[in-house]
Amino acid sequence: MRVKLLRYSLSQRLRELAVEERAWPGRDDGFASLLFEGKEFAHFHNWSEIDIRLGKDAIGREGLVHPVDSKVHPGRSKNSPWYEMRILSAADVDEVVRLVKIAILGISGRK
């Protein structure tokens, strides 16, 4: 139940950034796409995991490391522009919001 509350809190905060969340029809596992200015830049794998297209440069600049125990993308390249993280605490929600801001700045062309 706690992960759904964290996800709800995150979804509310993302709406404040003009991020649209689209649940996939026929799925009840939490999978949803995230769009900014009509462009998909991230998606939830489930209720407590997100995959964000940050770009290789931003991932390196931020010192982010792909999770070694990923169940959805276990063989993801270290050069992938996507960053996957779990949302298990309020601090994780804050971190996702911070990373989403980086991602949408790239979409809007403001670096």
- Kindly tell me if the per-residue pLDDT of 1 is higher than 50: yes
Whole-Å CA distances, 48 to 5, 7, 53, 98: 10, 7, 17, 17
Instruction: Give ∠ CA 92-94-96 in degrees, rounded to 5.
Output: 70
Burial profile 57-79: b = 16 or more Cβ within 10 angstroms, e = fewer: ebbeeeebebbeebeeeeeeeee
Q: How far apart are CA 93 and CA 107, in angstroms?
A: 21
Q: What is the per-residue pLDDT across 12-44, written as a single tens digit (0 to 9) for each?
A: 999 999 999 999 888 889 999 999 999 999 999
Q: Are 106 and 19 in contact (CB under 8 A)?
A: no
Q: What is the per-residue pLDDT across 48-90, written as a single tens digit (0 to 9) for each?
A: 999 999 999 999 999 998 887 878 787 778 889 999 999 999 9
The domains located in the chain, with CATH, are 2-108 (3.90.1150)
- Kindly tell me if the per-residue pLDDT of 111 is higher than 60: no
- Kindly tell me if the per-residue pLDDT of 91 is higher than 90: yes
